[in-house]
Amino acid sequence: MKTITTTQDLAAFCTMAAGHPYVTVDTEFLRERTYYSKLCLIQLAVPGEAADSAVLVDPILGSDMSLEPLYALFRNPDVVKVFHAARQDLEIFYVDAKVFPEPLFDTQVAAMVCGFGEQVGYETLVRKIAKEGVDKSSRFTDWSRRPLSDAQKSYALADVTHLRKIYEYLAAQLQKQGRAKWVAEELRILTNPETYISRPEDAWQRVKTRTQSAKFLAIVRELARFREAYAQERNIPRSRVFKDDALVELASTKPQSVADLNKSRLLLREARKGEIADGILAAIKAGIECPREAMPEGAKEDDKLQVNPALADLLRVLLKAKTEKSGVAAKLIASSADLDALAAGRRDVPAMMGWRHEVFGHDAERLCAGEIALAAKGKAVRIVELS
């Protein structure tokens, strides 16, 4: 198996790959000790069984290597770039070069559309489609350490060689079922820069709290803003600054001095002094002094929905029936929040848009309007038109 460590060799492979209809791509990375993923390995394969049809690209051994030849291939509209569960891979390339592979094909999304269930794993697809097994022994190894073992290299390369059969099978199924556009709709979010931008001012929305007081949330917002900015600037995990439970504790106790910080039960020792301690105290002060009109809203809008529970249950039955008929994973069609929103009278939910409206949303709307009913017939659920 060939390992590429120079720009020249990478360019040669990418030039060859540009003559094929698709290239399969995967990465190995670490994120335990950094805010941004550390790229450790890139795996590439083109159609065929030749020895040079699949390669490893090593950005650690090839520290002087430019990835621009790969990015040029990503921009090539004539070559489909095939990934499995692409989100984290795409984040790496977007953060590094602000580039997205287009056209893009994600076999996990395609498999959900083709009836393989929710968030189906790569090993499952290899077993069911490629009729092969995957050696999992190298899955949790440290991909940043060199040299890589032969077992690691074989494991990494299998992630793109088996992917060729999986892609060809799923692409054919989508064309046969007329669902290729459905997958294309799903992939738009993966090639939207907003998917990968973490703004410090919005970080508070990821923190789970039981209290919805605007004053309390103002402090949570400022603490989360400081933590996110600090972690980004130093490329360290958020949890290395302070964890969510400590953030909520700080927002509740509102310490005013370093002495107060030292009374915290949950705050890391490193956060009780220096820049982090100063940042925490400044964030708490900013939250306390936040004008009322600038405070975050308390209870979220979804918490105020007047959900009709009986209608919500009927929508869940309808969704199950549509899932069985279409073979598409229920989670991909409509979330539980979508169903509750529909039962509360809202229509501005993903389940009412694009292909989802065709599969489920249209009849869901009719059910809510009392135009149809549901009836059981054996093990199946059928729709009954109401006059």
pLDDT tens track for 192-214: 999 999 999 999 999 999 888 99
Decide which of 302 and 326 is more confident.
326
Q: In the prediction, which pLDDT does 299 show?
A: 45
Are 313 and 189 contained in the same domain? no
Are 266 and 323 contained in the same domain? no
Instruction: State the average pLDDT over residues 346-362.
Output: 95
Instruction: State the average pLDDT over residues 147-156.
Output: 95
Q: In the prediction, which pLDDT does 51 show?
A: 87
Q: Is the dihedral of CA 81, 85, 87, 91 positive or negative?
A: negative
Is residue 303's pLDDT more than 90?
Answer: no
Are 189 and 212 contained in the same domain? no
Are 357 and 262 contained in the same domain? no
Q: In the prediction, which pLDDT does 304 show?
A: 63
Is residue 300's pLDDT more than 70?
Answer: no
The per-residue pLDDT for range 57-93, each reduced to its tens digit, is 999 999 999 999 999 999 999 999 999 999 999 999 9
Are 307 and 369 contained in the same domain? yes
Is residue 302's pLDDT more than 60?
Answer: no
Q: What is the DSSP letter of 361?
A: I
pTM beyond 0.85: the answer is: yes
Are 289 and 375 contained in the same domain? no
Q: What is the DSSP string of 318-348?
A: HHHHHHHHH---HHHH--HHHHHHHHTT---
CATH number of the CATH domain containing 364: 1.10.150
Q: What is the Cα–Cα distance from 139 to 137, expressed in whole angstroms?
A: 6
Which residue, of 177, 196, 215, is where some domain finishes? 196
Is residue 189's pLDDT more than 70?
Answer: yes
Are 330 and 262 contained in the same domain? no
Nearest to 352 by CA among 344, 362, 366, 339: 362
Lowest model confidence (mean pLDDT) among 3-17, 214-228, 296-310 = 296-310
CATH number of the CATH domain containing 229: 1.10.150.80
Is residue 3's pLDDT more than 70?
Answer: yes
Radius of gyration of the chain (CA): 25
Are 162 and 210 contained in the same domain? no
Assign 368 a pLDDT band (cuts: 50, 70, 90).
very high
Are 22 and 73 contained in the same domain? yes
Decide which of 222 and 119 is more confident.
222
User: Which domain range does residue 205 map to?
Assistant: 200-294
Q: What is the Cα–Cα distance from 156 to 95, expressed in whole angstroms?
A: 22
Which residue, of 275, 294, 313, is where some domain finishes? 294
Which residue, of 166, 196, 226, is where some domain finishes? 196
Are 168 and 279 contained in the same domain? no
Are 51 and 84 contained in the same domain? yes
Is residue 277's pLDDT more than 50?
Answer: yes
Are 238 and 332 contained in the same domain? no
Q: Where are the beta strands (DSSP E) in the chain?
A: 2-4, 22-30, 38-45, 54-57, 80-83, 104-106, 372-377, 380-385
Domain count, the chain: 3
Contact 76, 18 (CB under 8 A): yes
